[in-house]
Structure 1
Amino acid sequence: MTITAAVPGVQTPACTAAGAAPKPTSAPPPAARSLFRHVHIENLAAGLSGGVISTLVLHPLDLVKIRFAVSDGLELRPKYNGILHCLSTIWKHEGLRGLYQGVTPNMWGAGASWGLYFFFYNAIKAYKTEDKLESLGATEHLVSAAEAGAMTLCITNPIWVTKTRLVLQYEAGVDPSKRQYKGMIDALIKIYKCEGIRGLYKGFVPGLFGTSHGALQFMAYEELKSKYNKRGNRPSDSKLSTLEYITMAALSKIFAVSATYPYQVVRARLQDQHNRYSGLVDVIHRTWRKEGIHGFYKGIVPNVIRVTPACCITFVVYEKVSRLLLGFKNGN
């Protein structure tokens, strides 16, 4: 009989009758716990699809919201009496092209933001629920969504700056010679040349505060779905009907907008090429001094009218496309 020294981490062969080969008895070591194991490209594709489709449908209302948000009394700005007057005025003077100024960076921004947001959020959420029997609570959903939002903003902020600049080219549709930027790429290049990397990241700090918007929205969405399924004695990840998804998305979006809208006004004003502020505090101080609390909620009506259906479209498209893609992947 041969005696072998035991080596840590190595299976020592047992003595077997008639020299028979030993049978392996150890299971393969568990895979290392990694965030990348929870990354699914389907979430990115589904979120991108939802963001692009909702933007194409509702961009004119986004344009109106931004123009109202930066309306601070400067003489160069057109005066609008309301949403319909703004839309009809732009249509009359600039046509359909005027209503869709800035749509290219908006599609890129919304598509990338929603795609990356769902991509990061689902990976973070899956990572945190690994080895846990119960689903995440409200606070964990909030933190996961905030982390995903911050990661997304680091990538997409330059796109949002170009969108704001293009949307605020007031007379570009009437007189092309007054167009400061020809398009998204031209805007990115000119902003970088004239203002450097700092120009491309204007509004980043209030944007970080704005991640609370997405965090509150996703927390509310997840909690509503969970409570609804629990009430119906169904698993927390049960598939809902289109109408149920729309209801959950709308309620969560209205809640988030109501709680966080002022940051959007502050960010739009920082990114505005027609006015100059020394920073975040200066925007807040001047807005409060000249316009009061009302100034921080300018544009909220067109924003709610736009983002609620936009959110519903995005979430429904996301849920349907992600299930379709995952079904293909799993061979179902």
Structure 2
Amino acid sequence: MTVKNQSLLREASHQTVAGGSAGLVEICLMHPLDVVKTRFQIQRGKGDATSYKSLGHCFKTMFRQEGILGFYKGILPPILAETPKRAVKFLTFEQYKKILGYASLPSSAIFTIAGLGSGLTEAIVVNPFEVVKVSLQAQRNTFLQDPAMEFLRKLGIGLLSGTIASCVNIPFDVAKSRIQGPQPTPGVIKYRTCFNSIKAIYREEGFLALYKGLVPKIMRLGPGGAVMLLVYEYSFAWLQENF
């Protein structure tokens, strides 16, 4: 293996480890909010016997009835699924960015195309904030002389991208929770597909029902996006310097 190939393999392994670490840390920190969000989304109105009155009431009730471990229910599947997905996302993003660098394209276009390509490669539901995030990342050279400002810039990009994603895709998330959660009538599957579930929720419970759990979702994905971006950037930089 040539020195160049070894260098490329080393860089790719660092990107993979940094991306996987970013996903793992984000999931472990933010999973309780995902559980709370899902509890709100599977409620079918004020008449629901398990209805939570507010975000604070939900936290208190869960802690009292289920203990601290109740907030970490279902954490294993996202760890097993999202950690490699994040590794693939960041790895492919960096590789697409490098390939596109050979073309005579503006930096903003390179970051945008690379972001779209990594999202498609990751093969998950497209996050609408991805283009926003990578476009903002094109401004990397703005504050590079000031580490504190660079940290705040990355933090802001992560918060903004996570918040936009939450607001745009929440109806689909509500539909997913209804499909995966307990059905209203035991033995009868009411919520089968995404769009049919959205239509049923809108017809029976109103427009705002499609935005149940938005606050905990923003609280999770806003800071979660920031955590993931920061962990990736700094862990990758550390790996590059030390290995």
TM-score (norm 1): 0.61
Residue 145 (structure 1) aligns with: 115
Letter matched to residue 125 of structure 1: K
Residue 46 (structure 1) aligns with: 18
Counterparts in 2 of 1:230-269, with a 5 A limit?
A: 230=142, 241-269=150-178
Residue in structure 2 matching 1:280, options 169, 182, 194: 194
Distance 1:240 1:132 in 2: 29
* Runs of 4+ residues over 4 Å off in structure 1: 36-39, 73-77, 140-143
Displacement, 1:317? 0.7
Displacement, 1:267? 2.3
Displacement, 1:240? 6.2
Letter matched to residue 122 of structure 2: T
Residue in structure 2 matching 1:72, options 40, 44, 51: 44
Confirm or deny: 8 A CA contact 2:108 2:138 kept in the other structure: no
Confirm or deny: 8 A CA contact 1:38 1:123 kept in the other structure: no
Deviations along 1:219-241, whole A, 9 cap, x unmatched? 222322334635x6x79xx9963
Residue 127 (structure 1) aligns with: 99
Residue 271 (structure 1) aligns with: 180
Residues 219 and 306 of structure 1, relative CA distance in 2, 3 Å threshold: same
Range 258-267 or range 38-47, more displaced: 38-47
Residue in structure 2 matching 1:221, options 128, 133, 147: 133
Distance 2:149 2:13 in 1: 22
Number of residues of Structure 1 aligned to a counterpart in Structure 2: 231
Confirm or deny: 8 A CA contact 1:129 1:136 kept in the other structure: no
Displacement, 1:147? 3.6
Counterparts in 2 of 1:94-133, with a 5 A limit?
A: 94-132=66-104
Letter matched to residue 71 of structure 1: Q
Distance 2:166 2:238 in 1: 30
Letter matched to residue 152 of structure 2: L
Letter matched to residue 154 of structure 2: Y
Structure showing greater radius of gyration is 1
Residues 39 and 288 of structure 1, relative CA distance in 2, 3 Å threshold: farther
What fraction of aligned residue pairs are identical, expressed as a percent?
Answer: 23
Letter matched to residue 309 of structure 1: P
Residues 133 and 151 of structure 1, relative CA distance in 2, 3 Å threshold: closer
Distance 1:296 1:229 in 2: 40
Structure 2 unmatched runs, 5+: none
Residues 126 and 98 of structure 1, relative CA distance in 2, 3 Å threshold: same
Confirm or deny: 8 A CA contact 2:11 2:240 kept in the other structure: no
Distance 2:150 2:23 in 1: 20
Structure 1 unmatched runs, 5+: 1-30, 154-206
Distance 1:143 1:225 in 2: 12
In angstroms, what is the RMSD of aligned CA positions?
A: 3.1
Displacement, 1:81? 0.8
Deviations along 1:141-188, whole A, 9 cap, x unmatched? 4454344234324xxxxxxxxxxxxxxxxxxxxxxxxxxxxxxxxxxx
Equivalent position SS for 1:68 = helix
Distance 1:259 1:265 in 2: 12
Confirm or deny: 8 A CA contact 1:40 1:119 kept in the other structure: yes
Residues 71 and 99 of structure 1, relative CA distance in 2, 3 Å threshold: same
Distance 1:46 1:239 in 2: 21
Deviations along 1:260-291, whole A, 9 cap, x unmatched? 32222222223324353232332122011012
